[in-house]
A and B are shown apart, each in its own frame.
Chain A
Amino acid sequence: MVAELVGGPFASTVDVPLEGSGRASNAVEEADKEAMRRLARGEIDALGELYDRHHAAVRRFATRMSGSSDDGDDIVHATFLNALKNASTFDLERSCRAWLLGIAAQLLRRERTQGARWARLLAAFRAPEPAWTRDPERALSAREGLGQVERALLRLPEPKRAVLVMAEIEGLGGAEIAQALEIPLNTVWTRLHHARRELTRALESEEGS
């Protein structure tokens, strides 16, 4: 649908410059299905195939969601290991890439929760984290290295950001996003609408200031 629209009434300069983004082709989907069948039988080489096809998308999604390319490798590793564990329950009618991105989204959410738990643990110990033990470089680069769009994207609430990144950058359809994030389809459209509005507003206000 996206591809049709890009070439349709909005015929424009919109390209799909990111290798691997956009909807997977039928050939890829068939190859994914076969790889998932093999993986469910315990053939680990199939995991390597899936990694080759989808690691870039998972890493890109993790980077866009967290704002840090440093977290990408860990999330990619954990996502594919998780895929191995759940291969036997994978629905072959689903898009494998959307499923992997859904796993990555869950892992990222869990990381965020764990960060909050760590803060609570520290409070319980009544020993604040010494300032110098925080990674100053990471904190600095997080602020300085990001462009206007990245900063605005990171300011979106995580649920809306996930939907927006999946739709606009990864090219997933509404139904795929709903399955990946385990939310109703209407919630996808609502979040996507608000995410677009909030991001547009943020970019316009940055440009104005």
Chain B
Amino acid sequence: MSPPCPETSEVEALWDGRLGADREEIMRTHVASCEHCAGEARRLETLRTALLSLPEREPSPPNVARGRRLLLDAAREATARARPRGRALPFAAAGVALAAGVAFWTLRPPALDRGSAAASDPSAQARSGGELEVRVTPESGARWSRTSEGERELLSLAQGKIEIAVDRHGGARRLAVRLPDGELEDEGTVFSVRVSRERTEEVSVSAGSVMLRLAQQPPRRLTAGQTFVAAPPATAEGAKPAEARENASPDSAPRAREEPTSARSSPRTATSASDADACPGAPRFEDCVEAFKRGDYAAAADAFARYSASCGRHAEDATYLRMVSLARAGRPTEARELARSYLTRFPEGFRHKEAERLAHGD
């Protein structure tokens, strides 16, 4: 074994192209004849080979095309929204706006004031530090307020519905909406949120994305075109709550019912304590998941099958987990069949990629 070579520390610099031309040439010659340096070079090469050989799970061409389309739609919407703000609002336009009952105002930094917005303040535009531009359009009856907290602009919504458009112009300032039962963080977007009876009833995203965090529920990211609608609160049998009637309208159908739609379905279904009571005769969804987590995949597959047969809630999750359970229970044919069924029922489903892999026998 030859003694360690003092030049070995330079092999990495050679590999990264950090040496000057002269030194590089000397090192190239040296590496060719030095056992230690050649070994170091081989280690670097092996590492790169390993990293470049990592398997890639490429999205299918239709998924890429869908991603492109969604991106360009969101970009066009964002650009259309941003365009008028680049110029001073012409008096004529302002006149039209005022005639239509719309009012604008600008809040300038440090803006710790309460930009409150009771029902009589139909619309507000807040600009913060040149970094964050926020437009709030409350519906009649909405109760909300605005404060700053460190680098965050905070809107607190107590009741009613507001529509919010946010443009970030660099910098660290961010916008969050405090809700009675959680928080919503903007990621540069247009969205609306409705609160009633101390709970978040609906969040609808038109462009960009938001992160919704509600108490006792997993966080969920909503992107353009997605709507979160809370599950109806538990009530005595037969007594339909007002929220349920409201949600019955076509454009605000509760996503918790998980009907396949043309839009991308909700990342996670809304959950509530009433789940167990909502589908009489069905096993509890939690119990099905427990079987899955225990690794009792045969039992889990059967439980999810019984659940799906008797209950329309969590349809996408139940189908997907049943499909995985079948695969792990050594029933690949049934798993593949269910994966194909999943792709048909939930063409924009969140587990689309995994279902595709399973359907094609990967």
Contact = CB atoms under 8 A, between A and B. Distances in A.
Contact of A136 (B52, B79, B293): B293
Given A60-B56, A137-B324, A150-B54, A44 B76 contact: yes
B170 A47 contact: no
Interface in A54-98: 55-56, 59-60, 63-64, 69-70, 72-74, 76-78, 80-82, 84-86, 89
Interface stretch (B8-16, B234-242, B337-345): B8-16
Contact of A125 (B68, B170, B215, B353): B215
A170 to B, nearest CB: 10
Contacts of A200: 43, 47
A180 to B, nearest CB: 16
B35 to A, nearest CB: 14
Interface residues of A, number: 77
A102 to B, nearest CB: 13
B28 to A, nearest CB: 4
Interface residues of B, number: 76
B347 to A, nearest CB: 15
Contacts of A4: 17
B16 A47 contact: no
Interface in B188-229: 188, 208-209, 211, 213, 215-219, 221, 223
A173 B17 contact: yes
A199 interface: yes
B250 to A, nearest CB: 27
B211 A1 contact: no
Interface in B231-275: 268, 271
Given A44-B79, A149-B51, A137 B321 contact: yes
Contacts of B22: none
23 contacts: A9-B27, A10-B31, A10-B42, A14-B49, A44-B75, A47-B75, A48-B72, A69-B57, A81-B188, A84-B79, A89-B170, A121-B182, A121-B183, A129-B216, A132-B290, A133-B218, A133-B268, A135-B218, A137-B321, A169-B51, A173-B17, A174-B18, A193-B12
Given A9-B41, A132-B286, A150-B54, 5 more contacts: A9-B14, A10-B15, A70-B353, A137-B292, A168-B47
